[in-house]
Amino acid sequence: MPPKSASSDPVTLLTRRIPRTGEALPIVGLGTWRVFDVAVPGPESKALVEVLQRFSEAGARLIDTSPMYGAAEEALGSLIKESGVAPPPFLATKVWISGKREGIAQMEASFRKLRAKSLDLIQVHNLVDAHTHLETLEEWREAGRVRYTGVTHYLESAFDDLEKILEEKRPDFVQLNYSLGERAAERRLLPCAARVEAAVIVNRPFGSGDLFARVRGKPLPPWADEVGCLSWAQYFLKYVLSHPAVTCAIPATGRVDHLLDNLGGGRPPLPTDVQRRKMAAYFDSL
């Protein structure tokens, strides 16, 4: 049986505050890797317009993209305009190149592709030439071109480097991989982010799909309704989002049914510490 549609739930998405400013963000956002790498107009872009509209109607805001994601930035800029969503989403993109001039050129291209005069967040993707780009971004933040700065990675092997730059440069955001299948961030990186007051965006909350493969054909535990889980997607998201250091998770999807299911993971209740341990133990037993 398919999961109950999140659109039937009248409760709004939970929010977390960005530590440095207190600005509230809904805890479920939208990733664009692969699914927004499409031609506009084109056969795949129509469904993405509806995804953006339903995302906005639910009160969700943060959309994350990157120049690394093929045509995603340009498609996103076009589709936001076509969808007519209001208020405008919280747009996050990245810089992924070495060199100050090269970084500036790439970020200027992102502004053009996203059709934006200013951006909410620019992150240094996978820490490539991070100190150079963070210096530029700090200047742009002062000038009002970007509201927040950040750094990202998607591998546990980079956690030492992420921790070091969080401590040294104090970016506003850090984006990292964290899921029931990849819990290493709980040991040092999430506590570090909380200590330096960096907002946390979680990528790979489904382990790039590996978590679904692990539970395929297996039922949710009988106590899943105690934490409001109607599907495995919500089970995985609620575990991640219930960590107090996490600000937002960004599962990527181009399907409305998957979007609505994911949004259900951002509605109350969230599991307590005791329930989180129970969720992890059950997952580990599968």
Question: What is the model's pLDDT at position 11?
Answer: 57
Calculate the average pLDDT of the chain. 95
Beta-sheet strands, E only, within 178-262: 199-203, 248-249
Q: List the one residue out of 49, 39, 34, 54 whose CA is nearest residue 81.
A: 49
Q: What's the whole-number mean pLDDT along residues 118-126? A: 97
Q: What's the whole-number mean pLDDT along residues 62-74? A: 97
pLDDT band at 12 (very low <50, low <70, confident <90, very high): confident
Q: Which residue has the tokens 């969808």?
A: 83
What are the DSSP calls for 101-159, one per residue? HHHHHHHHHHHHHHT-SSEEEEEEGGGTTHHHHHHHHHHHHHHTSEEEEEEE---GGGH
Q: Residues 246-267: pLDDT tens digits?
A: 999 999 999 999 999 999 999 9
Structure tokens belonging to residue 178: 């964290």
Q: Residues 73-103: pLDDT tens digits?
A: 999 999 999 999 999 999 999 999 999 999 9
pLDDT band at 43 (very low <50, low <70, confident <90, very high): confident
Q: Report phi then psi at 188, rounded to 5.
A: -135, -35
Please give the residue that has the higher pLDDT: either 274 or 3.
274
Q: Which DSSP category does 164 fall into?
A: H
Beta-sheet strands, E only, within the chain: 15-17, 24-26, 30-31, 62-64, 90-95, 119-124, 146-152, 173-177, 199-203, 248-249
Q: Which CATH architecture has domain 26-216+245-267?
A: Alpha-Beta Barrel (3.20)
pTM above 0.85, yes or no: yes
Q: List the one residue out of 107, 194, 188, 205 whose CA is nearest residue 154.
A: 205
Q: Are 27 and 200 within 8 A, CB to CB?
A: no
CA–CA gap between residue 75 and residue 252 (Å, rounded): 15
Omega prior to 191 cis, within 30 of 0: no
Report CA dihedral (32, 37, 39, 45) to the nearest 10 degrees: -40
Question: What is the model's pLDDT at position 237?
Answer: 98
For residue 5, pLDDT beyond 50: no
Q: What's the whole-number mean pLDDT along residues 11-23? A: 94
Question: What is the model's pLDDT at position 51?
Answer: 97
Omega prior to 10 cis, within 30 of 0: no
Q: What's the whole-number mean pLDDT along residues 232-236? A: 98
Report CA dihedral (112, 34, 154, 245) to the nearest 10 degrees: 80
Beta strands at 15-17 and 24-26: parallel, antiparallel or unpaired: antiparallel
Give the contacts of 187 (CB within 8 A, at least 6 positions apart): none
pLDDT band at 44 (very low <50, low <70, confident <90, very high): confident
Please give the residue that has the higher pLDDT: either 10 or 11.
11
Q: Residues 158-174: pLDDT tens digits?
A: 999 999 999 999 999 99
Domain boundaries, the chain: 26-216+245-267
Q: What's the whole-number mean pLDDT along residues 55-60? A: 96
For residue 6, pLDDT beyond 70: no
Greatest CA separation for the chain: 56
